[in-house]
Structures are given as structure tokens and as C-alpha cells.
């Protein structure tokens, strides 16, 4: 009777979950599987191969890893990811949340709303704001020349394109990390830090020995989410630099777009997308593994 009762409960749960499972299968699992299959074909966006494509095995992946443009895009993606997501959004978001901790409500509201402006702003609007900021007649050059730091304006998007898009993406996404860390820091009991202060712990020791270990789960979750989001950043880079000058800001998402929709090589484009997916899974697994290490 007990097994029968559990079985009935399981059927009821499955019945309620059926619409969600169906949507997940239709809008996520099936497209991923289909893309995985297309990455092993010579499918094109137009022409005869758009419908009569053939299975070609690992040809795209062999071509990919011998392609210098792919290697450049892969390296640019790692640089953009490390400095924009990990060093930028995660660490900066943590320290902003830490600085805002225990401050009065009005100060937290003002700082929070100021930072949230970048997050809620559409990506394309954000990119145009930063193009204006980094242009020769933009705010940055005007300020630096007025202060005497620069003798003449610099075309930042040409001279320092990767730095420019990294700064823009940090500004656009830091608020997400800050909000997560704010919630996690507010849940840390005050008496834990009070006890550490009585034992003689300084500010840095409190952060490294108490705060970080207690919010390790939040750090891992934030790292995974911003990594996956940053891997897929396309509009901001494309609107600011178009992946240039040359290939200096061509990331995997830009390279995938050019191959799939510029050169109409859908099979090759989906193969690049699979590499991005695998990279995201590997990095996420590394974060989970690191979170289990006792700090």
C-alpha cells in the first residue's frame, strides 16, 4: 500500500509538471539536440544545402581548431570573460555590496539605483552610450584633455577596443552581482562578526575567514550566471566595434554570427555554438568543484 501511495503521488506530481516538462523539451532540449546534429552537417543558410545537407562528421571541428580566426576568437573570449565577468562584475559587485553593507537606507537606495541604471538599460542603448563616451569628441577625451592628461583626443575604440568593451560590459552587468551579494551579506548573522572582532580579527580577516566562506554558494552561483551571460554577449560588442578593428574584439559569439549569417555556413556556425556551450559547461563544473574546497 505504501508503494502504491507513493506511485500515485508521483503520478500526480508528474501530471502537474507535465506542461513545464513539455515546454522545456520543446523550447530548450529539442533545439539544443537539433543544433548538436546540425554541427555535424554541411548545412547552409541558403542554396541547395539549406535543405539537402549531408552528415560530415567532425569536419567542422577539425577545420575549426586549425582556423587561426577561431583561435583568435577563442583567446579574445577568454580575455573578455576573465576581465569582464570574473575580475570585473563578480569582484567589483562583491566589494560594492560590502561597502554598502550597514549603511543607512538612503545611501543604499541612492547607490543601488545609480548602479541599477546600467543593468536595466537595454544592451544596444548601453553600447551607444559607451560609443559616445569613448569617441574622439566624447566625455572621456573632453575630461582628460581639460585636465591636461591628454595633449590630443584618442580614438579609444580603435586604440584600446578590448579595454573599451570590457569596461562597458562591467558597467552594464555589475548590478546583478551586487544585488546577489547584498542579499547574501544581509543574511550573515551580526553576532558571528562580533565574536570574530572580540577574538581580534581585523577587517581583512573577517572578509576572508568569515564572510567569503559563508557566502561561497552565492559566489559560485553568481560566477556561473555571469560567465554564461558574458559568453553570449553579442549586441554590445557588435554595436561598439563590430568585432574590430580587425579581429581585436572578435569573440566566439561574433565569429559564430559571421560564419552562420554572414557566410551562410549554418553547420559551421552551430559547431562554434557547441564549443561555446561546452566551454560554459566546463567552466560551470570548475566553479562547482572549487566551491567544494574548504576555504
- Which residues in 92-105 are b (16+ Cβ under 10 Å) and which e? bbbebbbebeeeee
Q: Tell me how far apart the alpha carbons of residues 147 and 62 are, in angstroms, rounded to a whole number.
A: 53
- Kindly state whether residue 38 falls inside one of the protein's structural domains: no
Q: Give CA angle at 238 (232, 242), nearest 5°.
A: 135
End-to-end Cα distance, the chain: 47
- Kindly state whether residue 36 falls inside one of the protein's structural domains: no
Structural domain boundaries, residue 68: 63-291
Q: What is the pLDDT of residue 49?
A: 84
Dihedral class, residue 293 (left if φ above 0, else alpha if ψ from -120 to 50, else beta):
beta
Beta bridge partners of residue 41, listed in sequence order: 55
Residues of the chain with pLDDT under 70: 1-7, 293-295
Q: What is the pLDDT of residue 120?
A: 84
- Kindly state whether residue 74 falls inside one of the protein's structural domains: yes
List the CATH number of the domain containing 191. Answer: 1.10.3720.10
Dihedral class, residue 57 (left if φ above 0, else alpha if ψ from -120 to 50, else beta):
left
Same domain for 133 and 224: yes
Decide: pTM greater than 0.85.
yes
Residue 115, Cβ density class (10 Å: 0-12 exposed, 13-18 middle, ≥19 buried): buried
- Kindly state whether residue 80 falls inside one of the protein's structural domains: yes
Asked if 99 and 115 count as a contact pair (C-beta separation under 8 A), the reply is no
- Kindly state whether residue 41 falls inside one of the protein's structural domains: no
Sign of CA dihedral 91, 96, 99, 103: negative
Q: What is the pLDDT of residue 278?
A: 92
Alpha carbon 160 to its chain centroid, in Å, reads 21
Q: Give CA angle at 170 (146, 235), nearest 5°.
A: 100
Q: Tell me how far apart the alpha carbons of residues 136 and 201 are, in angstroms, rounded to a whole number.
A: 49
How confident is the model over 165-213, as pLDDT tens digits? 999 999 999 988 998 998 898 888 878 877 888 878 888 888 888 888 8
Same domain for 107 and 25: no
Asked if 184 and 221 count as a contact pair (C-beta separation under 8 A), the reply is no
Domain tally for the chain? 2
Same domain for 126 and 86: yes
Q: What is the pLDDT of residue 1?
A: 42
Same domain for 249 and 139: yes
- Kindly state whether residue 275 falls inside one of the protein's structural domains: yes
Same domain for 130 and 17: no
Amino acid at each position: 500500500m505504501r508503494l502504491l501511495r507513493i506511485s500515485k503521488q508521483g503520478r500526480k506530481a508528474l501530471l502537474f509538471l507535465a506542461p513545464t516538462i513539455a515546454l522545456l523539451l520543446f523550447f530548450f532540449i529539442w533545439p539544443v539536440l537539433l543544433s548538436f546534429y546540425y554541427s555535424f552537417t554541411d548545412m547552409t543558410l541558403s542554396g541547395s544545402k539549406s535543405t539537402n545537407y549531408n552528415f560530415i562528421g567532425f569536419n567542422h571541428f577539425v577545420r575549426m581548431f586549425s582556423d587561426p580566426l577561431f583561435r583568435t576568437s577563442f583567446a579574445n573570449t577568454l580575455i573578455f570573460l576573465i576581465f569582464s565577468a570574473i575580475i570585473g562584475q563578480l569582484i567589483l559587485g562583491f566589494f560594492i555590496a560590502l561597502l554598502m553593507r550597514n549603511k543607512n537606507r538612503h545611501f543604499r537606495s541612492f547607490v543601488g539605483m545609480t548602479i541599477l541604471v546600467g543593468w536595466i538599460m537595454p544592451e544596444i542603448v548601453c553600447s551607444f552610450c559607451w560609443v559616445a563616451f569613448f569617441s574622439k569628441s566624447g566625455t572621456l577625451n573632453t575630461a582628460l584633455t581639460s585636465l591636461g592628461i591628454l595633449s590630443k583626443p584618442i580614438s579609444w575604440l580603435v586604440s584600446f577596443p578590448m579595454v573599451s568593451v570590457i569596461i562597458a560590459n562591467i558597467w552594464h552587468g555589475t548590478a546583478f552581482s551586487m544585488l546577489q551579494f547584498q542579499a547574501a551579506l544581509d543574511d550573515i548573522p551580526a553576532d558571528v562578526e562580533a565574536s570574530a572582532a572580540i577574538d581580534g580579527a581585523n577587517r581583512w580577516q573577517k572578509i576572508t575567514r568569515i564572510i567569503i566562506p559563508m557566502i561561497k554558494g552565492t559566489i559560485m552561483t553568481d560566477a556561473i550566471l555571469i560567465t554564461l551571460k558574458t559568453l553570449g554577449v553579442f549586441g554590445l560588442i557588435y554595436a561598439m566595434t563590430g568585432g574590430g578593428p580587425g579581429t581585436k574584439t572578435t569573440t566566439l559569439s561574433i565569429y559564430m554570427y559571421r560564419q552562420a549569417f554572414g557566410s551562410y555556413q549554418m553547420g559551421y556556425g552551430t559547431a562554434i555554438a557547441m564549443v561555446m556551450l561546452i566551454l560554459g559547461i566546463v567552466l560551470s563544473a570548475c566553479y562547482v568543484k572549487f566551491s567544494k574546497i574548504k576555504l
